[in-house]
Amino acid sequence: MRKRPPSIDGLPASTLQLPPGPWSTVLDCLCERFPSVPRAQWLERMARGRVVDNAGTWLTPETPYRLGLEVHYYREVPDEPPIPFDEVVLHADADLLVADKPHFLPVTPAGVHVHETLLGRLIRATGNHALVPLHRIDRETAGVVLFSTNPQTRARYQALFPARLIEKNYEAIAPALPDVEFPCIRASRIVSGEPFYRMQEIEGPPNSETRLDVIARGDAHWRYALTPVTGRTHQLRVHMAALGAPIANDPIYPSVRHRARGDYSAPLQLLAKRVAFIDPLSGVERSFASSFALQDQ
């Protein structure tokens, strides 16, 4: 098993396998590959040992380019704002950690969020640099996330997901659907749309399926139980919007609404409420439930 580069301050390394090209040095390749990162910033990262090879050797501005070389680097965002919500560890043992993620906190680094991630916080809290998320939920979604704590048993837990041996239950607050008969199933074909981070339904054989039911009926909004059978990006959000009941405070569906940086006033009303499975190591049934609650509209 190939050794993973160590995390630094809870931040795992990103990896680039050098593509074919005319560059004479690794630095030249990185500068052209990532034009938004100034050359001076790559030089500064190299000087602090934040660009390394598989052996952990620091790469320098003079390191020659080599096709296929795996370069590991640590992303940095200046003045990254803290996210003022705390995660909760629901369970931890030698093989598995279960965390309860608040709204707005990404699971792994993405975009302007590098250090302020669930993974980074957990690595800093536990000192376990081998932590790896077994699945993802959206940054806007709160709830239960499973992490592998042990590389030796990781594959056993990862295998549960493609085999659909993990039961995941969500709750959502969304507009009432009095003309829909519940429980119901929404199956559709979901593909990437425009802009690139927004998904859409199109005609064709279904590649996504969600089971829906109603937990409680209010005047304008209902509380729904959502069980994804498949795991497409934004699947629950797309299906609810397609039914005519976009999840409350959704900034993407049915249309994109840009949120000001640092605005945490209206969290998406979607919660990964419960995860259940048969533990592949012990054969014992395990179930973990979120301690967070959605806001009635």
Active site residues: 138
- Contacts of 180-188 spanning 24+ positions with Cβ under 8 A: 180/243, 182/212, 182/213, 182/214, 183/211, 183/212, 183/213, 184/211, 184/212, 184/213, 185/209, 185/210, 185/211, 185/212, 186/210, 186/212, 186/239, 186/242, 186/243, 188/238, 188/239, 188/242
CB 266 within 8 A of CB 247: no
In the numeric block, which tokens belong to residue 24? 């004479």
Which of 21, 56, 63 has the alpha carbon at shortest distance from 42?
Answer: 63
